[in-house]
Amino acid sequence: MKQVIKIDHISKIFSRGFFKKQHKLVLSDINLEISQGDRLVIVGESGMGKTTLARIMANLELPSEGEVLWFEKNIQKLREKEKKLLRGKVQYIHQDPYASLHPAKTIYKIIADPLRNAQKINRKEVYEKTKQLLEKVGLTPAEYFFNKYPHHLSGGGRQRLAIARALTTEPQVIIADEPISMIDMSLRAAIIKLFKDLNDLYGIAVILVLHDIGAAKYFTYEKGEIAVLYGGKIVEKGKGREVLTNPVHPYTKVLINSSPIADPEIARNRVVEQLRSYEVPVRTPESKGCPFAHACNYYTEKCLEEDPQLIVIDSSHEVACHVFSK
Ligand SMILES: Nc1ncnc2c1ncn2[C@@H]1O[C@H](COP(=O)(O)OP(=O)(O)OP(=O)(O)O)[C@@H](O)[C@H]1O
């Protein structure tokens, strides 16, 4: 399948403080490849660098090192005209759909305006396409919503609208940052299902940033990959089903075992490993060793000294751990 996004040895350093002399390493040597029709979940807890990575993929943030390729072209080296042509092909959906939707525009205008900008179509076609897009995302019957405003919708409805707006440019890739974190529990599965449908029915590559393991599982169990982020590094990567049923990295295991379980009987009998620390590591470009070493119960001297690289342990499974990736 055709490659749509490639992240090649990306690192990101944020500088702050007096004369910007304090450097924080937020992402470290990340490599990812997404092809047409792929599904990918970037999972990890708060502060691990998920949003920064998603924004770099969407060209909303520049990496400090490394290259971002869209459709096999280095986006930093593209001319403005070429960039403009590709921009609509990669769509980014924000965590908070309400903040990204114009509150004073009707739902019709929110979809029709970008449609008019993206495609050279007449008024009747704009009307028809607006209707189709709203129906595609489950806002049906579309005409019922035309004259309403974003505040008339539930959180789930607003996220559907944000997705419909992203579809106006006929994207080949959608990157959504925590698309369900601001939505009621009962509506979350339906939004993930919508992303699955966009992937299955229209071949759109979908990259979701999630901290909810249950949602990550639902999205990638039959198809798709998971990249587990800890301290700005990918510590485990592979097919969703494989990583979630046979996790190898101690952080992935803790992440999976700490996720809520609906069945109280299973939840009561579950043993959740306690970490040595729950602090999010602050890394600098000078930091040594594995970012997880300060929290890990299995760390060795080597873990404090050397940063482990991702090692292929199975055909579709990679782990960065000195102790367990053998
Ligand atoms: N513009 C910025 N300037 C300085 N530090 C930043 C900036 N953006 C993010 N950071 C820091 O980078 C680290 C990773 O942030 P990021 O938002 O990417 O993580 P995350 O995994 O998405 O977490 P969350 O789910 O809480 O958003 C955090 O420590 C954050 O404070």
Res. 19: pLDDT tops 70 = no
The CA-based angle 9-177-283, given to 5 degrees, is 45
Name the CATH topology of 3-89+169-319: Rossmann fold (3.40.50)
Place of tokens 């990890």: 44
- Pairing verdict, β 39-43 and 225-230: parallel
Half-sphere exposure of residue 7, counting CA atoms within 13 Å on the CB side? Answer: 25
Q: Is 221 helix (H, G, I), strand (E, B) or coil?
A: coil
Average pLDDT on 68-97 reads: 89
Res. 20: pLDDT tops 70 = no
pLDDT at 281: 80
Question: Relative to the CA of 95, which ligand 1 atom is closest?
Answer: 27
152-168, pLDDT tens digit by residue?
998 889 999 999 999 99
64 lines ligand 1 (CB under 6 A): no
pLDDT band of 297, cuts 50, 70, 90 = very high
pLDDT band of 267, cuts 50, 70, 90 = confident
223-251, pLDDT tens digit by residue?
999 999 999 999 999 999 999 999 999 99
Res. 98: pLDDT tops 80 = no
4 lines ligand 1 (CB under 6 A): no
Residue ID of nearest Cα to ligand 1 atom 14:
49
Give Rg (Cα) of the chain. Answer: 21
113-167, pLDDT tens digit by residue?
999 988 888 889 999 999 999 999 999 999 999 999 999 998 889 999 999 999 9
Half-sphere exposure of residue 132, counting CA atoms within 13 Å on the CB side? Answer: 10
Half-sphere exposure of residue 278, counting CA atoms within 13 Å on the CB side? Answer: 7
Residue ID of nearest Cα to ligand 1 atom 30:
47
63-77, pLDDT tens digit by residue?
999 999 999 999 989
**Percentages (nearest 5) of helix, strand, coil residues in the chain:** 40, 25, 40
Q: Which of 22, 50, 230, 235 to mutate to test the pocket of ligand 1 (most atoms within 8 A of CB)?
A: 50
49 lines ligand 1 (CB under 6 A): yes
The predicted complex's ipTM stands at 0.95
CA of 243 to the centre of ligand 1 (A): 25
Residue ID of nearest Cα to ligand 1 atom 25:
46
Strands (E), 83-192: 90-93, 173-177
Q: List the strands of the sheet with 205-210, edge to edge.
A: 90-93, 173-177, 205-210, 39-43, 225-230, 233-239, 317-319, 311-314
Res. 14: pLDDT tops 70 = yes
Q: Is 23 helix (H, G, I), strand (E, B) or coil?
A: strand
pLDDT at 199: 96
CA of 201 to the centre of ligand 1 (A): 34
Residue 164's closest CA among 60, 58, 93, 87?
Answer: 93
Residue extents of the structural domains in the chain: 3-89+169-319
172-193, pLDDT tens digit by residue?
999 999 999 888 888 889 999 9
Please count the other Cβ atoms lying within 10 Å of the Cβ belonging to residue 290: 29
Q: Is 318 helix (H, G, I), strand (E, B) or coil?
A: strand
Residue 68's closest CA among 173, 160, 162?
Answer: 173
CA of 108 to the centre of ligand 1 (A): 34
CA of 280 to the centre of ligand 1 (A): 11
Mention every residue, 6+ apart, whose C-beta is less than 8 A from residue 106.
Answer: 146, 147, 148, 149
26 lines ligand 1 (CB under 6 A): yes
50 lines ligand 1 (CB under 6 A): yes
pLDDT at 1: 80
CA of 46 to the centre of ligand 1 (A): 8
**Residue 103 — left, alpha, or beta (φ > 0 → left; ψ -120 to 50 → alpha)?**
alpha
pLDDT band of 282, cuts 50, 70, 90 = confident
190-227, pLDDT tens digit by residue?
999 999 999 999 999 999 999 889 899 999 999 999 99
Which three-class secondary structure string do you get for 276-317? CCCCCCCCCCCCCCCCCCCCCCCCCHHHHHCCCCCEEEECCE
pLDDT band of 274, cuts 50, 70, 90 = confident
Place of tokens 């305006």: 113
The percent of residues above 70 in pLDDT, for the chain, comes to: 98
Res. 269: pLDDT tops 90 = no
Res. 85: pLDDT tops 90 = no
CA of 193 to the centre of ligand 1 (A): 28
48 lines ligand 1 (CB under 6 A): yes
Angle in degrees, 0-180, between the axes of helices 123-136 and 107-118, rounded to the nearest 10 = 120
